[in-house]
Structure 1
Amino acid sequence: MIDPFSLPTRISAIVSDRAASTPHAPALAEAGRTWSYAALQQEVESCAERLRGLGVRPGDRVMLVSENCVAQVALLFAIASLDAWSINVNARLSAHEIAAVRAHCTPRRVLYTTGASPDALAHAARDGAAAVDTAGAAGGLMAGPLDAACVPEPVQAGGDQVAALVYTTGTTGRPKGVMLTHANLLFVAATSSALRGLRPSDHASGVLPVSHVYGLASVMLGTLYAGACLHLAPRFSADALLAQIRGGVLSIVQGVPAMYAKLVALAGPRNAPIPSRLRFCYAGGSPLDPALKRDVEALLGLPLHNGYGLTESAPTVSQTRLDAPRADTSVGLPIPGVAVRIVDAAGTDVAPGDAGELWVRGPNVMAGYYRDPQQTAQALRGGWLATGDVARRDADGALFVLGRIKELIIRGGFKVYPLEVEAALNAHPRVLQSAVVGMPLPAGDEEVVAFVEAAGPLGDDALRDWLRPRLAPYKRPARIVFLDALPAAPNGKILKSRLRQRLPA
């Protein structure tokens, strides 16, 4: 188990410590170029100097509009080294979404990595941003106007200092700023690194957005904490990732199920795994269905490990272990140092094996929601984080997540978990991915509606015939809607809030 008291107090120490101990080891790779830990530390120090020149003070909020790139990583560590807070948002968000985050966090400055992201450049133009005089990886950086009215937050001497505000819309569509401390992020980085068995010789895929907590803490910070090399890509491309795997570039891949589904669809049916030097692959960020797990394992010739987390837990709560891969889709055991409970509506522990709300406690749990004491009080209860997810534990303690409480569908008095219906849909060989939501009906009843992205010709009747022996009548969708592509966030997570907007009033 990682001792939280043995960790540094700032995430910026990850790079500075490695630059001192292994300066020439590769840290980041991007577009055919590699940065050593010493070179990355120089970028961090250069960015910190520029930020001071832009008026950034300890305790200030600094918003970064970017896509994965070396400049983004250097800026995140530079912001941390100044004791400021980073608000890292993906440049692929709409102007409206970015404006909502900005209005809530009131940053001292908004920065745009325009050299690496055309979308960031478009946002910068709308903001009236000006070019920042900088060289190296941060070339192409632009900064919006200084907010002279910004009031800095108090600075904490230890790891309780907030490192990042990570915004999540959850199931409500309203952005909430999750305050993650340096201690939160360092604990997850160190634990993720250890559980993945990472070593300095590893080369990990960096395609998951660093603006998302999974890409930030588990992938980016966890990889660099181990002294390994992270291969950054601004956006996911199934072709590019498959080429990296086949070319022996990567030894570690972490992704969301939607990403793996596209890999499988691109590679096609397999009689044997593709050649690679992969030794570990992991899925997280959204539910994994059994059919996809089997297909990925056939493609890569490795167990596909699974895990569970949420932004409020920085994010990792549980994962399957390297030495104990599972054939099912359990999200594994709680990570060392993290405790879990499964409770009923009154907050009382349920009987072993029963389903209930998952509560979490540990060094990974957020400090709270920024400027939202009411939501914080609802989520943090006596030191426990109420996740809003329904889960159960099997006899050996492994967790199975059944879905969001707010997404539970009540049909004719029966409970329908969307995840179970989605698993049955996704098992069809021509279904790429699916999403199931409830449509309200009179008298408090609901109708099951399935949105499906097909990988080939597929009719409504054929899919209903497929579901008939696999689901009880009350679980079968009353409506099936075929879409060319399901709406997804930059991290690949399906946006059910947008699908609900398609339902009739």
Structure 2
Amino acid sequence: MSAAGGTVDTALRRAAAGPGGVIEGGRRRTWAELDHAADEVATVLAAAGAGGGRVALRVENTFAHLGAMFGIWRAGGTLVPLSPRLTASEAASLTTRARVAAEVVLASGSVAISSRPAAASPDPGLAAIAFTSGTTGDPKGVEITHDGMLFAAHTVARTRRDAAESVAAVVSPLCHLPIFVSHVLCRIVTGGTIVLGTFDVGELVAVIERHGVTDLPLVPAMVEPLLAHPGLGRGTTIAKVTVGSALTPIEMKQALAVRFPGADIIEAYGQTETTDGLTMTVGRDALLRPGTVGRTHQGIELAIVDADGRTLLPETRGEIVCRGPTVMRGYLDDPAATREALRGGWLHTGDLGLLDGDGYLFITGRLKEIIISGGENVSPAEVEAVLGDHPAVADVAVVGLPDARWGERVAAAVVARAPVEAEALLTHARARLARFKCPRTVVFVDTIPRTSAGKIRRNVVREELMRRAAVSG
């Protein structure tokens, strides 16, 4: 059982007797009503013989999908959250790897259960298997426990000073477990209120005014269109603006501070393997210490180490490592990757950074090859494998290029073995990959630079594509 008290489902049961709840499409419902919706899904799962197993769900930002998530946990199951943006083949690959007992499908107000053979054994302590893009192409299944989720929710809520009076707009995709923990579970354990939706700038501006939103969690790609909207007034109820999922330029945070003069401007850092955030700024630290992503949450340890695992002094650049109750249990069916990631008792994040003398963390780079575009993680190797399957492609390298709105955009350098148009390659990719993974830029080159071991020299590819963009732009 969790030090925070039971399972994720327990948190909703406790909240059901208190204030707050969910607003969706203008309709306000209590946490008690969400608790009832979870009961209904749990009953259907039990009747189908799928209670206690791994259950997949394409998670959308709706009250019904929240009810399904908690219903899976109430039935004693492990949630396998899937992005609704995945293609059918991508989703099928993940559910097969997870050996799910069933998939929950919500349609026209009803709950349908699709049972699956060869299911894994029940695992009561395992809350979720969250797939995240891996550097080698195949997404890794991150095993997250009930203990980890509850601890993360309580410690993040404490740092951010969440309260029962908080009203948070939730427009980032809840299929990402850290977003669910930060945007929803934190509000449940503090008795707050959430306003559910997807990112439509006009609707978000209206929601802020209509429901008196106090907490505004964003990803960097949302900031520019929001600030440019003529309907966004300065006299709003916003008390806290949080940006995360990708590093946010200081100019963007300064613009947020001007538009919301009385609000905390918060930046958070973490990854799926840590359940939710590792660090967070408070107040206006993000403006006073440009570039920082804050200090660690209570109960989390963080250090900077060199290539041999030795702890480095402040102001020295190295890999960010961490340990604590929110760290994943491991990678699904991948003991070698688990040992590598958790070696020495620390989670090795693959990110580079430094700590200043006051314990503030600054991100300086990335050991991993992951591209972060609009808050979504994209594996270059996965995109390369798809493009490489096209008969006209002899070789390919995929990198992230700087983008003012999306943080990074996916770009592909392609060596063609036969005449082919860029649009044909994009059509090929879109049929096999979620749209956010597909390249926005395709550049034809003569060769792909590689090391003597055959690895792509991504820094050289990136520099060449940026040079060509500068010449053509």
TM-score tier after normalising by the smaller chain length: 0.7 to 0.9
In the alignment, structure 1 residue 197 sits paired with structure 2 residue 161: yes
Give 1:143 deviation, angstroms.
Answer: 2.5
Alignment partner, residue 186 of structure 1: 150
Q: Counterpart amino acid of 2:469?
A: I
Alignment partner, residue 469 of structure 2: 480
Residue 388 of structure 1, aligned match among 327, 350, 360? 350
Give 1:19 deviation, angstroms.
Answer: 1.8
**Cα 1:74/1:308, change in 2 over 3 Å:** same
Residue 264 of structure 1, aligned match among 193, 209, 227? 227
Q: Give the gaps of 5 or more residues in structure 2.
A: 372-398, 414-447
Alignment partner, residue 292 of structure 2: 330
In the alignment, structure 1 residue 244 sits paired with structure 2 residue 207: yes
Aligned CA RMSD, in angstroms, stands at 2.9
In the alignment, structure 1 residue 281 sits paired with structure 2 residue 250: no
Residue-by-residue CA offset, 1:467-501 (whole Å, 9 max, x unaligned):
xxxxxxx8993232899xxxxxxxxxxxxxxxxxx
Q: Counterpart amino acid of 2:7?
A: R
* Alignment map for 1:118-267 (pairs within 5 Å): 139-144=109-114, 146-155=115-124, 161-233=125-197, 235-267=198-230
CA distance in 2, matches of 1:19, 1:12: 11
CA distance in 2, matches of 1:179, 1:222: 20
Residue 34 of structure 1, aligned match among 3, 28, 33? 28
**Cα 1:482/1:12, change in 2 over 3 Å:** farther
- SS of residue in 2 equivalent to 1:478: helix
Q: Counterpart amino acid of 1:312?
A: E
Alignment partner, residue 52 of structure 1: 46
- SS of residue in 2 equivalent to 1:86: strand
Residue-by-residue CA offset, 1:124-164 (whole Å, 9 max, x unaligned):
xxxxxxxxxxxxxxx233322x2243232343xxxxx0101
* Alignment map for 1:361-440 (pairs within 5 Å): 361-407=323-369, 422=402, 426=404, 433-435=407-409
In the alignment, structure 1 residue 19 sits paired with structure 2 residue 22: no
Give 1:104 deviation, angstroms.
Answer: 0.6
Alignment partner, residue 419 of structure 2: none
Give 1:187 deviation, angstroms.
Answer: 0.7
Alignment partner, residue 114 of structure 1: 107
Contact 1:238 1:266 in 2 (8 A): yes
CA distance in 1, matches of 2:56, 2:169: 25
Give 1:102 deviation, angstroms.
Answer: 1.1
CA distance in 1, matches of 2:41, 2:61: 16
**Cα 1:482/1:197, change in 2 over 3 Å:** farther
Alignment partner, residue 356 of structure 1: 318
CA distance in 2, matches of 1:266, 1:341: 41
Residue-by-residue CA offset, 1:182-209 (whole Å, 9 max, x unaligned):
0100011111222221111221111111
CA distance in 1, matches of 2:80, 2:273: 15
Residue-by-residue CA offset, 1:309-334 (whole Å, 9 max, x unaligned):
00000021000123755331310001
Residue 269 of structure 2, aligned match among 298, 302, 308? 308
CA distance in 1, matches of 2:367, 2:264: 30
- SS of residue in 2 equivalent to 1:406: coil
**Cα 1:69/1:446, change in 2 over 3 Å:** closer
Q: Counterpart amino acid of 1:191?
A: T
- SS of residue in 1 equivalent to 2:368: helix
CA distance in 2, matches of 1:255, 1:53: 39
Alignment partner, residue 61 of structure 1: 54
Give 1:75 deviation, angstroms.
Answer: 1.6
CA distance in 1, matches of 2:44, 2:162: 33
- SS of residue in 2 equivalent to 1:112: strand
Give 1:211 deviation, angstroms.
Answer: 0.8
Alignment partner, residue 7 of structure 2: 10
Alignment partner, residue 490 of structure 1: none
**Cα 1:392/1:437, change in 2 over 3 Å:** farther
CA distance in 1, matches of 2:303, 2:260: 35
Q: Number of residue pairs matched?
A: 405
Tell me which moved more, 33-42 or 179-188.
33-42
CA distance in 2, matches of 1:353, 1:476: 32
Q: Counterpart amino acid of 1:149?
A: A
**Cα 1:263/1:481, change in 2 over 3 Å:** farther
**Cα 1:479/1:104, change in 2 over 3 Å:** same
Contact 1:26 1:34 in 2 (8 A): no
Tell me which moved more, 238-247 or 194-203.
238-247
Return the TM-score normalized by structure 1.
Answer: 0.74
Give 1:306 deviation, angstroms.
Answer: 0.4
Give 1:35 deviation, angstroms.
Answer: 1.3
Alignment partner, residue 293 of structure 1: 253
Alignment partner, residue 420 of structure 2: none
CA distance in 2, matches of 1:399, 1:86: 32
- SS of residue in 2 equivalent to 1:308: strand
Q: Counterpart amino acid of 1:15?
A: L
- SS of residue in 2 equivalent to 1:236: coil
CA distance in 2, matches of 1:344, 1:351: 10
Residue-by-residue CA offset, 1:417-471 (whole Å, 9 max, x unaligned):
x99x94xx74xxxx67544879752667655567xxxxxxxxxxxxxxxxxxxxx
Contact 1:407 1:438 in 2 (8 A): no
**Cα 1:42/1:347, change in 2 over 3 Å:** same
Contact 1:208 1:214 in 2 (8 A): no
Give 1:263 deviation, angstroms.
Answer: 1.3
**Cα 1:437/1:147, change in 2 over 3 Å:** closer
Q: Give the gaps of 5 or more residues in structure 1.
A: 116-138, 156-160, 410-417, 451-473, 484-505
Residue-by-residue CA offset, 1:319-353 (whole Å, 9 max, x unaligned):
01237553313100011111111111111122321
CA distance in 1, matches of 2:464, 2:201: 33
CA distance in 1, matches of 2:234, 2:145: 40
Return the TM-score normalized by structure 2.
Answer: 0.79
